[in-house]
Amino acid sequence: MIDAKEPLADHWINPCEHMVEKVSAFADGSLRGLARWYTRFHVKTCPRCRKALDALRALRDRLLRLSRPSPAHTALLSDVRKHEFIRAMDQIDAPPRE
């Protein structure tokens, strides 16, 4: 498998011309039936398609990691929400303005 810390562009290898859509669909899990079976067999025996599949999976994993907030980001959001809550409570407790 491709190291997820290295740039994908260095590892990108296009699958066989007749397998482009199948390898992509196999990588995202949308391929079914005989086409899935054939693609799984082909990827096991074709280094070019195997590398393309690995690159697609590495890209998917990177995108999933980017969609999750980091612990530092989560802590910052928590602090911001806490301060907003305190400010809102202070406004409720403040005497009405005339």
Residue 19 CB burial class (10 angstroms; 0-12, 13-18, ≥19): buried
Q: How many domains does the chain have?
A: 1
Tell me, yes or no, whether 3 lies in a domain: no
Domain presence at residue 28:
yes
User: Residue 61 domain-assigned?
Assistant: yes
Flag whether 2 is in a domain.
no
For residue 98, being part of any structural domain is answered with no
Q: How many CB atoms lie within 10 A of CB 69?
A: 11
With respect to residue 31, please indicate whether it lies within any of the assigned structural domains.
yes
**Residue 69 forms part of a structural domain:** yes
- pLDDT tens string 45-72: 999 999 999 999 998 888 888 777 777 6
Domain range for 53 is 8-93
Within a domain: 65:
yes
For the stretch 8-45, pLDDT in tens is 454 557 899 999 999 999 999 999 999 999 999 999 99
